[in-house]
Amino acid sequence: MENSQIVPKRNTPRDLFLHLLAIVTLYWSAISFTGIIWQFINKAFPDNLPYYYDSSIGFIKFSVSALIIVFPIFILVSWYLNKIYRRESQVRESKIRKWLIYLTLFIASLVIIGDLISIINTFLNGDMTARFILKALSVIIVAGIIFGYYLDDVRRETPTKLAKYFAWITSILVIAVIVGAFVVVGSPTTARSANFDQVKVSNLQTIQSQIVNYWQLKEKLPANLESLNNSISGFAVPTDPQTKANYEYFVDDSINLTFELCATFNLKTNRENFTSFAPTDPGNWDHAAGRVCFKRTIDKQLYPPLTKPAI
C-alpha cells in the first residue's frame, strides 16, 4: 500500500503541555529578567523619596532564583520542540502552537504600546528622568525582541537557525544579569551573615526595652542581664544566635542611668540587606564589623518611674 505511513496527530496532550510550558517559562523569564534590570537602574539612579525599607534586594534574589530555574526549562523545552518539528512537521503547524504564538505577539504588542504611551504621558507631565527612560527602554527592548523573533518564527514552515542564535544570545544575557545580581546582593554566605546581624540588633533592642522597663519598675539599673529574666512574664534574655554567647552589658553610670550593650557583628550595617523594616531612627543601631558597643542613657523625663499603687 502506498502512503501507508501514519501521520502523527497535531493537537495531542503532549503538544499542549510542551507549548504551554514553553510560553509560560518565556513570560516568566522575560518578567524576571526585566525586573532585575529595573532594580539595577534603581541602584544606579536612586529615588530621592525617603523609604524606611528598600525591597530591591529581596526582589533581585527572587528574580534570580526564578531565572536560574525557569530560563533553562524554557531553553530545554524549546530545543525539544524544535527536534519534534523536524521529525513531525504537523506539530509545527498545530493550532495550539499558532494560538499561543499569536497570543504572545498580542501581549508583546500591548506591552510596547502601553510603554510608549507611558513615555509620552510622562514627558508631557514634565517628569521625564534617566531612571524612567532606561526602564521604559528595557521593556521595549525585551518585548521587541520577543515580538520580532516569534513573528519571524510563526511565518516559517520549518525551524530556522535563528532559534539557535536566539538561544545563545539570550543565555549569555541571562548569565550576565545573574552574575551582576550576585555582585549587587552578595553571596549566600554574605546574606546569611547579614541575617544573623539583624537578629542580633533585634535582640539588643529587646534587651534595651527590658532594661528601661526594669528601671521604671525598680528605679535602678539591673546589675546584670540575668536580672531581667522573669519566670512570670516568661521573658528570658536572648543570646547571640550565631555563637550562642551572652551579650555584654555594662553599667557606666548608675546615677545618670548610662549603660552599654555590646555584640559582635559580621558585617558593617547595610540597610539594603534588610529583610524587614528598619528601626525608626536609621542610625540608632548602625554598626561596623566586629565587636560594637551601643551606649545608652535613660532620660528620666521620657521614662519616669511607674507610679506605685496606693496600699
What pLDDT, in 10s, does the model give residues 91-140?
Answer: 777 888 888 889 888 998 988 888 888 878 877 777 668 888 888 888 89
pLDDT in tens, 233-284: 889 999 999 999 999 999 999 899 999 999 999 998 876 554 444 444 456 8
End-to-end CA separation in angstroms for the chain = 112
pLDDT surpasses 60 at 311:
no
Averaged confidence pLDDT in the chain: 83
53, 274 contact by CB (below 8 A):
yes
273, 191 contact by CB (below 8 A):
yes
pLDDT in tens, 151-196: 888 887 776 677 788 888 899 999 999 998 888 877 788 888 888 9
pLDDT in tens, 193-228: 888 999 999 999 999 999 999 999 999 999 999 999
221, 300 contact by CB (below 8 A):
no
Q: Edge-to-edge strands of the sheet including 290-297?
A: 248-253, 258-265, 290-297
pTM for the model stands at 0.67
pLDDT in tens, 31-82: 999 989 988 888 888 766 544 445 567 788 888 999 999 999 999 998 888 8
Q: Count CB-CB contacts under 10 A for residue 247.
A: 17
- Residue 291 has φ and ψ, to the nearest 5°, of -75, 125
pLDDT top residue among 300 and 10: 300
- Residue 205 has φ and ψ, to the nearest 5°, of -60, -45
**Residues 196, 210: Cα–Cα separation, whole Å:** 21
Residue 277 has a pLDDT of: 42
pLDDT in tens, 6-16: 444 456 788 88
